[in-house]
Amino acid sequence: MSGVLSLPAPATAPRGATAGTVLPVLLVCILLSMAVQATMLTTPLLTMHVFDGVLESRSLDTLWVLALAFLAVLMLGGALRHMRAALLAAMAERVGRRLELRALAATVRVSLAGDRVAAARALQDVAALRRLLGGTVPADVLDLLSIPLALGFLWMLHPLFFAVTFAAALAQAVIGVLADRTARGTLAAAMLAEGQGRRELIGRLGQRDLVLGLGLLPAVLARFAPVQARAIAGRGDAERQARALAGLLQLAGFAQQIAVVGTGVWLLLDHRISPGSMIAATSMVNLATQPVMHLVGHWRDWSEGMAAARRLSGVVRRGAPPAPVPPEVSAPSGLLIEDLTLRVPGAARSLLEGMSLSLPPGNAVVIAGPNGAGKTTLLRAILGLAEPEGGRVLLDGWDTLRAPRGEIGPRLGYLPQDAQLLEGSVMENIGRFGTDGAAGAVAAARMVGAHDAIGRLPRGYENAAGPDAGLSGGQARLVALARAFHGAPRLIVLDEPEAGLDAPARAGLRNAVAAARDGGAVVLLVSHAPSAWQEVADGVLTLKGDGSWSLEMDA
C-alpha cells in the first residue's frame, strides 16, 4: 500500500482545552458581569435623586434612605465582583493546565519533525496565555458589557450625551488598534531575536570543556552581543511607540471630559436637562469608556497573549497525533513494511524508495550503510515517530504511526543514539515509569548484563538517572538498554547499541539480542560493523544512500 499519510487538523488549543467545562463557567461570569454593571447604575441614579429631588425637598430622611440603598447595592456589586474574580481565576488555572499538557505533547512531535525552535517557544506561549487569562484582561473584556447599558442610559438623558460618549469610546478603541498594529511587529521581532540569541548562547555554553579548552568564550560572546543589542533596540522602539500612544490615550481622556462637561453645561443653560442629569451623565460616561481604556492600557498583555494563542494553535495543529486506526487482523505477525518512501524535508532526492519487506517473529536484522543514508530516519519511521512520504509499517497488524501510543508503546523497545534518560530513578527509567514493580526492571537489567553495573551505583536501582544524575555515558547506556528490553517487546530497535560499551557489556548485549530473538521478537539494530553481529543476526539490510536498498538473509 502506498500513499501520503497526512495529519488531521484538530481544533485549536484554546477551544479544545475549554470545551465542555469552561463554557458553563464563562456563561456564569457573563451573567455576574451583567449584574455588576446593573449595580453601577446606582451612582447616576442616586446623583439624579439627590440633585433633582433631595435638594429641592430638603428631606434628610430621603437622603438617608438613598444612602443606605446605595451602600447595600455597592456591597452587592463588590460581592458579585469577588465571585466573578474567583471563577475567572479557577477557569484560568484549569485552562492553563490543559493547555500545558496539550502543548507538551505537541512539542514532542514537532521536535521530532525537526522544528525545535517552535517547540521551545510553545511552552513560553503557554506561560504568556496563562498570564493573560490570570490577569485583568478577561475581567476588562467582560466589563465591555457595560458599554451598551451606559450608552442606553445616556440616550435617555439626552442623545447628545450618547453621541459624545460613543465618539470618545470609538476614538479610544482606534488608539488601541493602532497601538497593537504599530508595536506588535516590532515587539514580536525583538522577542524572537532575543530568544534565538539566548538559545544559541546557552547551547554553545553547554559545551563547557570545548569553549574553555579552546579559548572560544570571547568569540562566543562576541557573536551573541550584537544579536542581543539588536533585540534590546527593537524592544526599546516598541516601548517608545507604546508610550506615545499612551500619551495620546490620556489626551483623548481629557478631551472626553471636556466634551461631556461642555455638552452638559450647554444643555443645562438651554434648560434641556436638569443639574442632576448633568452630574449623572459625567459619571455614566466613565462607565461607558473605562473598559475600553483599561483594554487599551493593557494592550501589550492581550496583544502578546493573542499572538501566543495563534502560535500555540499552529504548534498543536502540527503536532496533533494521527487519527487512530484499529489493527488489521489479516496482517501477518511480526514486522511488515509496505512501499515505504522516506525523504528529508526540502531535499530533492529520497532517502529510501519503495521499501517492502516482511520479518516474521524471531528475526534479528542489522541495518548498515554509509553516513547520511537514512538509517536513523528509517528506524524512526518504523517506530511511528516520523511520518513517511509514502507507505506504512505494521507490527502484528498495528500501524505504528496511527496506532494509539498507549497500545503500541509497550510492544516497542527503543534505544536511540543517546541514552535519553528521564528524571527519576534507575528502576523507574528501566520500568518505563510503570507500576509492575521491581521484578520486571531487574529482569531486564539482568538480560542485558546491566545488573552488576547498577548494583555498583551509590543507591543501586534507586539511584537518580536523569540528565543531571552524574551517570557516565556507559552507565546511562546500560540503563537505556535495559529499558529497551523491558516487558518483552515485540519489536526492539537499537541505534548503534555498541557505542560507549566495553567488551563485557557488548557480549551481554549480543546475548540479550539473541534471547529476545529466540523469544519471538523482531530485532533491528544499526551497526557500522555488521560482521560483529553475524553470529546473532539473521540478515543485513543495507541502505545505499541513493534511495535503493538490499536485504540479505541467511539461508
What's the confidence (pLDDT) of residue 192?
65
Strand partners, 549: 543
pLDDT at 8: 34
pLDDT, tens digit (0-9, with 9 covering 90-100), for 230-263: 667 766 776 676 677 767 777 777 787 788 888 8
Q: Does the pLDDT at position 288 exceed 80?
A: no
Residue the block writes with cell 473598559? 291
Which residue do the cell numbers 443639574 mark?
A: 275
Comparing CA positions, the residue from 400, 397, 396, 398 lying closest to residue 387 is 400
For residue 491, list its beta bridge partners. 412, 522
149 confidence band (pLDDT: 50, 70, 90)? confident
In this predicted structure, the answer to whether residue 443 has a pLDDT above a threshold of 70 is yes
How is the beta sheet containing 390-395 ordered, strand by strand?
352-359, 335-342, 390-395, 398-399
Q: 230 or 158: whose pLDDT is higher?
A: 158
For residue 3, pLDDT beyond 60: no
Which range in 100-109, 164-173, 296-305, 538-547 is most confidently predicted, on average pLDDT? 538-547
What SS3 state is found at 412? strand
Instruction: Give the containing element (helix H, strand E) for 122.
Output: helix 116-134
* 39 or 438, greater pLDDT: 438
pLDDT confidence of residue 480 = 92
More confident residue, 54 or 478: 478
**Average pLDDT of 373-393?**
89
| 462 neighbors 427 (Cβ within 8 angstroms) | yes
- Does position 356 have pLDDT exceeding 80, yes or no? yes
Rounded Cα distance between 275 and 43, Å, is 15
pLDDT digits (tens, 9 = 90+) for 124-138: 777 777 777 777 777
The residue with greater pLDDT, 336 or 4, is 336
Does residue 36 or residue 106 have the better pLDDT? 36
- Span 447-468, pLDDT tens digits: 999 999 999 999 999 998 887 7
Half-sphere exposure of 338 (CA within 13 A, CB side): 17
Query: Above 70 in pLDDT, residue 359?
Result: yes
Mean pLDDT throughout 354-383? 91
Look at residue 111 and tell me whether its pLDDT is greater than 70.
no
Beta strands 549-553 and 539-543, pairing class:
antiparallel
Tell me which of 277-281, 373-377, 380-384 is least confident: 277-281
Tens of pLDDT, residue by residue over 289-334, are: 777 777 776 666 776 777 777 777 777 777 677 788 888 888 899 9
From residue 420, alpha-carbon distances to 247, 471, 484 in Å are: 53, 12, 12
Is the pLDDT at 338 greater than 90? The verdict is yes
- The per-residue pLDDT for 179 is 67
> In the predicted model, is pLDDT for residue 16 greater than 60?
no
pLDDT value at residue 208: 64
Q: What amino acid is encoded at 312 in this protein?
A: L
In terms of Cα–Cα distance, which of 248, 270, 91, 112 is closest to 171?
Answer: 248
- Name the band, by pLDDT with cuts 50, 70 and 90, for residue 540: very high
Q: How confident is the model at residue 66 (pLDDT cuts 50, 70, 90)?
A: low
- pLDDT exceeds 50 at position 1: no
**Lowest pLDDT segment from 108-112, 402-406, 522-526:** 108-112
State the average pLDDT over residues 19-40. Answer: 74
- What secondary structure letter does DSSP report for 530? G
Closest by CA position to 173, among listed 153, 147, 154: 147
Given a cut of 60, whether residue 11 has pLDDT beyond it is: no
Q: Say yes or no to pLDDT of 383 above 70.
A: yes
Is the distance from CB of 22 to CB of 91 less than 8 angstroms?
yes
Q: Note the pLDDT tens digit of each residue in 180-232.
A: 666 666 666 666 666 666 666 666 665 666 666 666 667 766 766 776 676 67
Determine the average pLDDT of the residues in 401-421.
Answer: 89
User: Which H or E run includes 552?
Assistant: strand 549-553
Structure-block grid coordinates of residue 443: 529482569
Across 18-40, average pLDDT: 72
What percentage of the chain reaches a pLDDT higher than 70?
A: 75
What is the rounded distance in angstroms from the CA atom of residue 231 to the CA atom of residue 221? 15
Q: How does the average pLDDT of the chain come out, rounded? A: 78
Q: Give the pLDDT score at 9.
A: 35
What is the rounded CA–CA span in Å between residue 147 and residue 136? 18
Q: In what order do the strands lie in the sheet with 549-553?
A: 412-415, 491-495, 522-526, 363-368, 539-543, 549-553
Phi–psi pair at 399, nearest 5 degrees: -70, 115
Q: What's the chain's length in residues? A: 555
**What pLDDT sits at residue 437?**
76
Give which of 52, 81, 46 is closest to 284, Cα–Cα.
46
- The reported pLDDT for the residue numbered 171 is 81
**Beta carbons of 331 and 212 less than 8 angstroms apart:** no
- Amino acid 501: pLDDT: 86
SS3 410: helix
Query: E strand or H helix at 259, and its extent?
Result: helix 217-269
Residue 525's DSSP bridge partners are: 366, 494
Q: Residue 459, CB half-sphere, CA atoms under 13 Å: how many?
A: 11
Residue 345: all three cell numbers together: 524535508
Q: Are 257 and 288 in contact (CB under 8 A)?
A: no
pLDDT of residue 168: 82
pLDDT above 70 for 49: no
DSSP letters for 340-380: EEE--TT-SS-SEEEEEEEE-SSEEEEEE--TTSSHHHHHH
Q: Helix crossing, 42-49 with 60-112: angle to 10°?
A: 160
pLDDT tens, residue by residue, 80-95? 888 888 887 777 777 7
Residue type, 439: A
Phi/psi at 314 (5° precision): -65, -40
pLDDT at 526 over 60: yes
Round to whole Å and give the CA distance between 293 and 296: 5
Contact call for residues 410 and 22 (beta carbons, < 8 A): no
Burial class of residue 410, CB neighbours in 10 A (0-12, 13-18, 19+): middle
Q: Which helix (H) or strand (E) holds 394?
A: strand 390-395
pLDDT over threshold 50, residue 14: no
Question: Does pLDDT of 515 surpass 90?
Answer: yes
Q: Cβ(505)–Cβ(447) under 8 Å?
A: no
pLDDT score for 525: 94
For residues 376 and 435, the model is more confident at 376
Cβ contacts of 288 within 8 Å, gap of 6 or more: 146, 147, 150, 151, 154, 165, 169
CATH fourth-level superfamily of 335-553: P-loop containing nucleotide triphosphate hydrolases (3.40.50.300)
Q: What's the pLDDT score for residue 12?
A: 38
d(CA 202, CA 182): 31
Q: Confidence band (pLDDT; 50, 70, 90) for 51?
A: low
Using the predicted structure, report yes or no on whether residue 18 has a pLDDT greater than 70. no
Instruction: Burial-class residue 38 by CB neighbours within 10 Å (0-12, 13-18, 19+).
Output: middle
Helix, strand, coil abundance in the chain, percent, nearest 5: 65, 10, 25
Q: Nearest to residue 533, comparing CAs of 510, 517, 505, 516? A: 510
